[in-house]
Structure formats: structure tokens, C-alpha cells
Amino acid sequence: MNILITGGAGFIGSAVIRHIIKNTHHSVLNVDNLTYAGNLESIKDIESSACYMFEKVDICNRVELERVFNAFKPDAVMHLAAESHVDRSIDGPSDFIQTNIIGTFTLLEVARSYWSKLSNQKKSIFRFHHISTDEVYGDLEGTDDLFTEQTSYEPSSPYSASKASSDHLVRAWNRTYGLPVIVTNCSNNYGPYHFPEKLIPHIILNALSAKSLPVYGDGSQIRDWLYVEDHARALYKVVTEGVVGETYNIGGHNEKKNIEVVETLCALLDEYAPISGNPAFSSSSRLTHYKDLITFVTDRPGHDVRYAIDASKIKRELGWVPEESFETGIRKTVEWYLNNENWWKRVLTGEYQLERIGDQ
């Protein structure tokens, strides 16, 4: 099976590629434009595999996409390429419109043209799997409500609105043209190789550097946390076993307030890397616990209060459940960042970016 993965140098995409290469015999083509969050070092341990290939291609470039499709001849597309940071979308929404909407449209059109020319047998196998987010659903009012696959879309940010738009395009290409699509919407991911601007790695790395730990508002916003390797397993199961035209919500069953997440990270860092032995703190520092660095800052505009996923459908129909609890997953995550200082320092300093630009 040939699987074309867009955004495979990103956080979730790289986890999917690592999972497929390490656990199957499928061939994978990673199509990524290597924007600021794309990092091929996240898949360094599998890049020498004969089953792995890489193409630096912008998904808005139809000519290049057509070349890639015709050469690789995919049996499935897993579309993860996206701009995904809410704060960045508020500051500059145009990149999100371009990549998440125009890019998805271009990819759909190339996939439709390619699929329409396949033999009937190849057509029956082909899948276009669109990976999306729970943020398209907007806000949950009550404490017991959950996002289901039937929840109406009410996106709050330019990011979530652009992802909602791409979801609608994908479903329209199924209904109008018959393209065999599957959509998944996931909760907040965390784990190894997470780009440092996101909450969990940002808090870990700021704490280790003796910097303030910014928390929006009072930190009461609730998110459902999903360990990225659990998500990768779910996505592979969906693309190989999911039903065409269906949507599957993927969640970690781990609802936590943002302040709880930050305090948990601080406690784990107290355990693994106590302030007393951290050279980033001056000898005159009176701080004894990382939680003393927590600083509450002005809330984000339009900040959703609560997300929570009902993942009963994927459990019932495909047999997937997360293997990691939040407690086990967050501990693994902290350990990974402590043991992979070279990776995140190269990202933070821009060293990897500079090397990559020099190689082009």
C-alpha cells in the first residue's frame, strides 16, 4: 500500500509516519513544504528506510502535486498539512486561509483527477483521509456535554474557521464527485517532538530556562488531551479500516483545566530537574518550586472555555482506545524533553531552520 502523507514533518504527521514505517510494510511519501514548524529531524530514526520518501512540495502548487501523485501512485492520502496555531491565526489569518482552505481545495482537485483515472479495482481501494480538529465545533457550555460527530460547527478563531472550511470542502467532494473520503476530528495532542510554541512544550522549556510560565486568564479553560502516538495509531486504523463518508472523533478521555496541566508539569519538573540543581536559576533565587513561575496573563480573544470529545464511535466501530492516560503520557513527555535537549534547542535557536535553508 502506498500512503501519501501531507505535513509529515509536523508534530502529528511525523508521529504517523514513524508508526507506519515501524509497524507495517507500507510505502510512505512525505509531502511537506517545511514551513517554520516542519522538522525532518522528527523522523530521523526512519528516514533511511527503503519504504520512506520525501518531497518538498507546497500543497497549493497543483503542478507539483500532480507530478507527485503520478510518480508515487498513492492508494491513500492522509492530509495533515495545516497551519494550526490559534494565536498566529489571530495575528495573521491569511496564511491559514491559504494553506488550510486553498491548499485543501488544490489537494482535493488533484486527488479527484488522479482517482477518476484509476481502474475500478484501484478506485475501490483509494481513500482520502482528512485530519481535522475538535476546535471546529466551538465551545461547550455545560460540564457534561461532549462533541459528537453530529455536533454543529461553530468555530471561534481564524484557525478553527479555516479548518471547518476545509472539512466542508472534503465532505462536498465526497457528495458531489464521489471521492472516497474519511474525516477525523481530534482533541489536543501532546507528546514528543511537539513544536515549542504549543502549551505543554512551551511550559516545560520556559520552566527549565527559569522564565515565567504564562497562563491565559485564570487557567480554567478545559481541554481533552490525547497522546500523539495514540492519535497516530487511531489515524492508521481509520485510513485502513474506516468507512468511506464517515467521520470519527478521536479523543484521549483526559479533560484537564489548563492550570492543572501547568501545575502537573511543574510537579514533574520538581521531581526530575529540581530548581536547586538547575543552573538557569541564580544562586540567590528564592524560588523552590517551578509553580512559583506561573504568571496569569490577559486572556486570548474569543478563547473557547471547554472542549471534550465523545470517542465512543471509533471505539465501537473500529476498536480503538487510547493506551496512555494523561498521567502516563505527560510523564513520558517530560522525560522526552529532558532527554532530547539537542532537538528542542536547535528548534528554539533556529539552527535547524538555517541549515535547511542553506541546503536548498
Residue 358 has pLDDT above 50, yes or no: no
The residue written with cell numbers 470517542 in the block is 311
The tens digit of pLDDT for each residue in 200-246 reads 999 999 999 999 999 999 999 999 999 999 999 999 999 999 999 99
Is residue 336 a part of any domain in this protein?
A: no
- Joined grid coordinates for residue 130: 482528512
- Please give the residue that has the higher pLDDT: either 284 or 10: 10
Order of strands across the sheet with 188-190?
188-190, 222-227, 255-257
Going by C-beta distance under 8 Å and a sequence separation of 6 or more, which residues neighbour residue 324? 227, 229, 230, 252, 332
Helix 228-241, helix 11-23: angle, nearest 10: 60
Range of the domain at 169: 2-195+225-255+303-326
The tens digit of pLDDT for each residue in 257-282 reads 999 999 999 999 999 999 999 999 98
Residue 139 has pLDDT above 70, yes or no: yes
What is the pTM assigned to this prediction?
A: 0.94
CA angle, 346 then 350 then 352, to 5°: 60
In the residue annotation, 134 being an active-site residue is answered as: yes
Helix-then-strand count for the chain, H and E: 14, 12
Is residue 43 a part of any domain in this protein?
A: yes
Is residue 348 a part of any domain in this protein?
A: no
**Active-site choice (41, 58, 83, 134):** 134
Is residue 104 a part of any domain in this protein?
A: yes
**Active-site choice (58, 135, 230, 255):** 135
Is residue 295 a part of any domain in this protein?
A: no
Tell me the residue ranges of DSSP E strands in the chain. Answer: 2-6, 27-32, 52-56, 76-79, 127-133, 181-186, 188-190, 213-216, 222-227, 247-250, 255-257, 294-297
- Per-residue pLDDT, averaged over 342-351, amounts to 85
In the residue annotation, 359 being an active-site residue is answered as: no
Is residue 334 a part of any domain in this protein?
A: no
Provide the mean pLDDT of the chain: 94
The tens digit of pLDDT for each residue in 52-88 reads 999 999 999 999 999 999 999 999 999 999 998 888 9
CATH value at residue 116: 3.40.50.720
**Active-site choice (52, 114, 137, 159):** 159
Is residue 57 a part of any domain in this protein?
A: yes
In the residue annotation, 260 being an active-site residue is answered as: no
Is residue 270 a part of any domain in this protein?
A: no
The tens digit of pLDDT for each residue in 148-186 reads 999 999 999 999 999 999 999 999 999 999 999 999 999
For residue 286, what pLDDT is reported?
A: 87
Number of folded domains in the chain?
1
